[in-house]
Amino acid sequence: MFISSAFAQAAPAAGGDLQSSLMGMLPLVLMFVVLYFVMIRPQMKKAKEHKAMVEALAKGDEVVSAGGMLGKVSKLGEVYIGLEVASGVEVQIQRSAVVQVLPKGSIK
């Protein structure tokens, strides 16, 4: 009396269900492909270039640190480098903190 009769719905065709599922996933897959080419791939390329630059550091190179400090490389270690920021003033920074290698003669 209070419960209405339930009618079973007809099941969709088996072939059409697979095709609709694939078409539903297509925007998600396209979004990941675009995300890879716009964000992930350039970031990996930049990280690879930074790693090569840090590994190629040599004594006497003029560099800029992440904090904006300019100096000349005076000591090289595995993790740290000695950076001469003024005559007689040397600080130690991490190799990964080097942002840019300047052309010779940039620091006067």
**How does pLDDT run across 78-100, given as a tens digit for each residue?**
999 999 999 999 999 999 999 99
108 located within any domain:
no
Q: pTM of the entire structure? A: 0.69
Residues 47 and 74 in one domain: no
Mean pLDDT of the region 6-33: 75
Provide φ and ψ at 37, rounded to 5°.
-75, -25
Residues 75 and 51 in one domain: no
| CA distances in angstroms from 39 to 31, 42, 49, 50, 56, listed in the order given | 12, 6, 16, 17, 26
Give residue 79's domain range. 58-102
Number of domain units in the chain = 2
Residue 15 pLDDT greater than 80, yes or no:
no
Residue 102 pLDDT greater than 70, yes or no:
yes
**How does pLDDT run across 26-68, given as a tens digit for each residue?**
999 999 999 999 999 999 999 999 999 999 999 999 999 999 9
70 located within any domain:
yes
Residues 21 and 41 in one domain: yes
6 located within any domain:
no
Residues 51 and 66 in one domain: no
